[in-house]
Amino acid sequence: MPLVASCQCGIIRLPLPLDQPTELYICHCTHCQAQSAAAFGISACFPTFAIPPPGSPPATAANLGSWVRTTASGEIQECWFCTVCGTRLVHAPKGAEFLVVKGGSIRVIDDEHDDTGNDGKKLDIKSVWDTGMHIWCRSAVVSIPDTAERWEKDDGTSKKL
């Protein structure tokens, strides 16, 4: 089923290139905590696509803001957000072959749900929480299930907990 990333106010709608992310994980790093003003971030990776994607409504292009930050490892990260409601939707290392879509913004477009509002079904984050990958667990502020895959820092480059 086709997916769209949309912001809290609903002006921004980014059609996503695949029906499922290539990777989906929960990030407990302090930057995700600061960015989301919550306990963790949800990262859904997709092959890179134009921002805004072809087929986006005109209001999307008109209200999409961006900024650039330098990560702790010196990487340049581009970030896109809604200039009306402030919701972050996407970020990516500059020049990367993937984009990271904020998982909580993703909705399923199907025949039963109006895809213009905030009522669409969301991605199944619960199964990722229980059995998927959690990274930067050393700064987690919530309990992580024993059934999940847990990494001290980034996956593959740190200690598996």
Residue among 16, 24, 29, 45 that touches Zn ion (CB under 5 A): 29
Binding residues among 105-144 for Zn ion as defined by CB under 5 A: none
Residue among 3, 27, 64, 123 that touches Zn ion (CB under 5 A): 27
Binding residues among 38-57 for Zn ion as defined by CB under 5 A: 41
Q: Residues 112, 115, 117, CA angle at the centre, nearest 5°?
A: 115
Six token digits for residue 154:
């980034």
We find the least distance from the C-beta atom of residue 12 to Zn ion, in angstroms, to be 5
Binding residues among 61-90 for Zn ion as defined by CB under 5 A: 82, 84-85
Residue among 3, 5, 11, 14 that touches Zn ion (CB under 5 A): 11
> Which residues bind to Zn ion, rule: CB under 5 A?
7, 9, 11, 27, 29, 32, 41, 82, 84-85
